[in-house]
Structure 1
């Protein structure tokens, strides 16, 4: 399969994630959109590693190992982000981002 298909899919996923972050007010949806953007970048890294490995220029596992590190960082980000959302819900009984100014007190 040509690399252009992977690039177009990755761009589409990343744009959907950006639109979700900019348009939504629900904190859980925003975190899902951030994860979607990270997965779009991971897809692009794996596609380029496959392309360069077929050309014989680099090892195929190098970018895929980098993807695993990104996945570990994304999992840690989700854990911390969900903890913040749970604390926000306990204080305000809502996960609306506009209500974050209440947490200043």
Structure 2
């Protein structure tokens, strides 16, 4: 097994765990954690293809990962702000009970 194959195997396992967590959990915070796991799996793919690719001296993989981490931080901040606002209104973080969009 090559190192790239090992990295891709770990990344696909991490993505599957995140997808399963995002689709099966009822708490909005755990859904956000699942989404973060999927983003980290994509970051691992970026790093693996950059490191074991033909042009590892170019920093394109690192730039993609840094941009992805910035997007993930913004997503987490906005997501947590939305969850806090919804919790103040409905007194629950259950995703299935958040079916109304009135203010």
Runs of 4+ in structure 1 displaced over 2 angstroms? 57-60, 102-105
Whose helix proportion is higher, 1 or 2? 1
Q: 1:58: how far off? A: 4.9
- Which whole-Å CA distance do the structure 2 matches of 1:67 and 1:24 have between them? 27
> Aligned residue for 2:77?
79
Write out per-residue CA displacement over residues 52-86 of structure 1, whole angstroms, 9 at most, x where no aligned residue: 1xx3x353411111100000011001110000000
The answer to whether the 8 A contact 1:13-1:37 is kept is yes
- Which whole-Å CA distance do the structure 2 matches of 1:99 and 1:59 have between them? 50
Q: Point out where structure 1 has 5 or more consecutive residues left out of the alignment.
A: none
Write out per-residue CA displacement over residues 17-68 of structure 1, whole angstroms, 9 at most, x where no aligned residue: 111111111000000000000000000110110011xx3x353411111100
> Aligned residue for 1:32?
33
Relative to the length of structure 2, the TM-score reads: 0.92
Give the aligned length.
Answer: 102
Relative to the length of structure 1, the TM-score reads: 0.90
